[in-house]
Amino acid sequence: MKDNLTGQRFGRLVVQEPGISSHSGQRWTCLCDCGQTCMPFGFGLKNGTTKSCGCYSDEVRRRPKTHGGTHLPEYKIWEAMFQRCTNRKHTSYKNYGAKGVTICARWQNFAAFFEDMGPRPSHKHSIDRKDSTLGYSKENCVGYTQRTEQSYKSQCFSDVQRKNTNSSAVGRRARLTARATT
Protein backbone atom coordinates (compact mmCIF):
# COMPACT_ATOMS: atom_id res chain seq x y z
CA MET A 1 0.00 0.00 0.00
CA LYS A 2 1.64 3.21 -1.26
CA ASP A 3 -0.61 5.93 0.16
CA ASN A 4 -2.47 5.79 3.43
CA LEU A 5 -5.80 7.51 2.76
CA THR A 6 -7.25 6.77 6.22
CA GLY A 7 -9.05 9.81 7.64
CA GLN A 8 -9.03 11.77 4.36
CA ARG A 9 -12.22 13.20 2.82
CA PHE A 10 -13.03 12.78 -0.86
CA GLY A 11 -16.29 14.49 -1.76
CA ARG A 12 -18.93 12.92 0.50
CA LEU A 13 -16.67 10.02 1.53
CA VAL A 14 -14.37 9.75 4.54
CA VAL A 15 -11.85 6.90 4.35
CA GLN A 16 -12.14 4.62 7.41
CA GLU A 17 -9.56 1.89 6.71
CA PRO A 18 -7.82 -0.06 3.95
CA GLY A 19 -9.97 -2.68 2.31
CA ILE A 20 -9.22 -5.46 -0.16
CA SER A 21 -6.13 -5.15 -2.33
CA SER A 22 -5.97 -6.80 -5.75
CA HIS A 23 -4.19 -6.51 -9.08
CA SER A 24 -6.81 -3.86 -9.99
CA GLY A 25 -5.74 -1.68 -7.07
CA GLN A 26 -6.35 -0.93 -3.43
CA ARG A 27 -9.92 -0.61 -2.19
CA TRP A 28 -10.78 1.50 0.86
CA THR A 29 -13.64 1.23 3.33
CA CYS A 30 -15.37 4.62 3.31
CA LEU A 31 -18.27 6.17 5.20
CA CYS A 32 -20.51 8.39 3.11
CA ASP A 33 -22.24 11.51 4.47
CA CYS A 34 -25.57 9.72 3.87
CA GLY A 35 -24.53 6.99 6.37
CA GLN A 36 -23.79 4.20 3.87
CA THR A 37 -20.49 2.33 3.75
CA CYS A 38 -18.78 1.55 0.45
CA MET A 39 -15.44 0.22 -0.84
CA PRO A 40 -14.18 2.28 -3.80
CA PHE A 41 -10.76 2.00 -5.43
CA GLY A 42 -8.13 4.44 -4.17
CA PHE A 43 -7.40 5.77 -7.66
CA GLY A 44 -11.09 6.72 -8.06
CA LEU A 45 -10.95 8.65 -4.79
CA LYS A 46 -7.70 10.41 -5.69
CA ASN A 47 -8.63 11.40 -9.25
CA GLY A 48 -12.10 12.62 -8.22
CA THR A 49 -14.24 10.14 -10.15
CA THR A 50 -15.61 8.61 -6.92
CA LYS A 51 -17.18 11.19 -4.62
CA SER A 52 -19.99 9.28 -2.91
CA CYS A 53 -21.44 5.82 -2.34
CA GLY A 54 -23.81 6.44 -5.27
CA CYS A 55 -26.27 8.61 -3.35
CA TYR A 56 -25.21 11.75 -5.22
CA SER A 57 -26.05 10.20 -8.61
CA ASP A 58 -29.43 9.12 -7.24
CA GLU A 59 -30.12 12.68 -6.03
CA VAL A 60 -29.20 14.16 -9.39
CA ARG A 61 -31.48 11.72 -11.23
CA ARG A 62 -34.40 12.53 -8.91
CA ARG A 63 -33.97 16.32 -9.19
CA PRO A 64 -36.63 18.09 -11.19
CA LYS A 65 -35.43 19.41 -14.50
CA THR A 66 -34.75 23.14 -14.51
CA HIS A 67 -37.14 23.84 -17.37
CA GLY A 68 -37.87 20.50 -19.00
CA GLY A 69 -37.81 22.13 -22.41
CA THR A 70 -34.85 20.48 -24.12
CA HIS A 71 -37.26 18.62 -26.41
CA LEU A 72 -38.90 21.85 -27.62
CA PRO A 73 -37.98 23.39 -31.00
CA GLU A 74 -37.59 26.73 -29.19
CA TYR A 75 -34.82 25.16 -27.12
CA LYS A 76 -32.95 24.29 -30.30
CA ILE A 77 -33.30 27.91 -31.45
CA TRP A 78 -32.06 29.17 -28.08
CA GLU A 79 -29.17 26.70 -28.02
CA ALA A 80 -28.08 27.62 -31.56
CA MET A 81 -28.25 31.33 -30.65
CA PHE A 82 -26.24 30.66 -27.48
CA GLN A 83 -23.61 28.58 -29.27
CA ARG A 84 -22.98 30.97 -32.14
CA CYS A 85 -22.54 33.87 -29.70
CA THR A 86 -20.42 32.15 -27.03
CA ASN A 87 -18.67 29.07 -28.44
CA ARG A 88 -15.48 30.00 -30.30
CA LYS A 89 -15.51 26.57 -31.99
CA HIS A 90 -19.01 27.02 -33.47
CA THR A 91 -18.96 27.47 -37.25
CA SER A 92 -21.01 30.70 -37.05
CA TYR A 93 -19.10 32.25 -34.13
CA LYS A 94 -17.09 34.40 -36.56
CA ASN A 95 -20.34 36.07 -37.69
CA TYR A 96 -21.81 36.54 -34.20
CA GLY A 97 -19.68 36.23 -31.06
CA ALA A 98 -16.47 37.40 -32.76
CA LYS A 99 -18.31 40.51 -33.98
CA GLY A 100 -19.56 41.34 -30.49
CA VAL A 101 -23.09 39.93 -30.78
CA THR A 102 -24.05 38.99 -27.23
CA ILE A 103 -26.98 37.52 -25.34
CA CYS A 104 -28.51 39.55 -22.53
CA ALA A 105 -28.00 38.23 -18.98
CA ARG A 106 -31.66 37.24 -18.66
CA TRP A 107 -31.53 35.04 -21.75
CA GLN A 108 -28.55 33.06 -20.49
CA ASN A 109 -31.33 30.90 -19.05
CA PHE A 110 -33.66 29.06 -21.46
CA ALA A 111 -36.69 29.36 -19.17
CA ALA A 112 -36.39 33.18 -19.22
CA PHE A 113 -35.91 33.18 -23.01
CA PHE A 114 -39.01 31.02 -23.46
CA GLU A 115 -41.02 33.18 -21.05
CA ASP A 116 -40.17 36.28 -23.12
CA MET A 117 -40.51 34.76 -26.59
CA GLY A 118 -43.13 32.07 -26.10
CA PRO A 119 -43.75 29.24 -28.55
CA ARG A 120 -43.06 29.87 -32.21
CA PRO A 121 -46.05 29.76 -34.57
CA SER A 122 -44.62 27.11 -36.93
CA HIS A 123 -41.43 25.30 -37.86
CA LYS A 124 -40.83 27.97 -40.51
CA HIS A 125 -40.42 30.67 -37.86
CA SER A 126 -37.12 31.64 -36.28
CA ILE A 127 -35.82 34.40 -34.00
CA ASP A 128 -34.75 37.63 -35.63
CA ARG A 129 -33.08 40.82 -34.37
CA LYS A 130 -34.32 44.33 -35.20
CA ASP A 131 -30.77 45.72 -35.28
CA SER A 132 -28.23 43.17 -36.43
CA THR A 133 -25.37 45.12 -34.84
CA LEU A 134 -26.87 44.62 -31.37
CA GLY A 135 -27.13 41.44 -29.34
CA TYR A 136 -30.03 39.17 -28.51
CA SER A 137 -32.48 40.59 -25.96
CA LYS A 138 -36.21 41.02 -25.55
CA GLU A 139 -35.91 44.65 -26.65
CA ASN A 140 -33.93 43.87 -29.82
CA CYS A 141 -35.74 40.74 -30.99
CA VAL A 142 -38.92 40.94 -33.03
CA GLY A 143 -40.13 37.56 -31.92
CA TYR A 144 -40.38 34.79 -34.39
CA THR A 145 -40.36 35.80 -38.02
CA GLN A 146 -41.15 33.49 -40.88
CA ARG A 147 -37.89 32.52 -42.51
CA THR A 148 -37.99 33.08 -46.20
CA GLU A 149 -35.32 30.57 -47.01
CA GLN A 150 -36.11 30.86 -50.69
CA SER A 151 -35.40 34.60 -50.72
CA TYR A 152 -32.24 34.03 -48.68
CA LYS A 153 -31.10 31.28 -51.05
CA SER A 154 -31.94 33.33 -54.12
CA GLN A 155 -29.97 36.28 -52.69
CA CYS A 156 -26.99 33.98 -52.13
CA PHE A 157 -27.46 32.46 -55.57
CA SER A 158 -27.56 35.87 -57.25
CA ASP A 159 -24.38 36.92 -55.41
CA VAL A 160 -22.62 33.75 -56.57
CA GLN A 161 -24.03 34.14 -60.06
CA ARG A 162 -22.78 37.77 -60.20
CA LYS A 163 -19.29 36.64 -59.10
CA ASN A 164 -19.24 33.85 -61.68
CA THR A 165 -20.44 36.16 -64.45
CA ASN A 166 -17.76 38.70 -63.64
CA SER A 167 -15.01 36.09 -63.38
CA SER A 168 -16.08 34.34 -66.59
CA ALA A 169 -16.19 37.67 -68.42
CA VAL A 170 -12.65 38.38 -67.23
CA GLY A 171 -11.63 34.89 -68.34
CA ARG A 172 -13.19 35.38 -71.79
CA ARG A 173 -11.44 38.74 -72.22
CA ALA A 174 -8.13 37.16 -71.26
CA ARG A 175 -8.60 34.33 -73.77
CA LEU A 176 -9.57 36.79 -76.53
CA THR A 177 -6.55 38.96 -75.76
CA ALA A 178 -4.29 35.91 -75.80
CA ARG A 179 -5.64 34.82 -79.21
CA ALA A 180 -5.29 38.33 -80.69
CA THR A 181 -1.64 38.50 -79.75
CA THR A 182 -0.74 35.12 -81.30
Q: What is the pLDDT of residues 171-180, one digit of tens each?
A: 444 454 455 5
pLDDT for the residue 150? 44
Question: What torsion, rounded to 10 degrees, do the Cα atoms 154, 155, 161, 163 define?
Answer: -160
Residues 36, 38, 43: CA angle, nearest 5 degrees: 140
pLDDT at 179: 53
Cα–chain center distance at 133: 23
Q: Is the Cβ–Cβ distance between 52 and 9 less than 8 Å? A: no
What was the pLDDT predicted at 67? Answer: 60
Q: Over 80: is that where the pLDDT of 127 sits? A: yes
Looking at residues 128-134, what average pLDDT do you find? 89
CA–CA separation, 66 and 37 (whole Å): 31
Question: What's the average model confidence in pLDDT over 157-180?
Answer: 47
Quote the CA–CA distance of 67 and 49 in Å, as a whole number. Answer: 28
pLDDT digits (tens, 9 = 90+) for 19-48: 999 888 999 999 999 999 999 999 999 999
The number of beta carbons lying within 10 Å of the beta carbon of residue 150 is 8
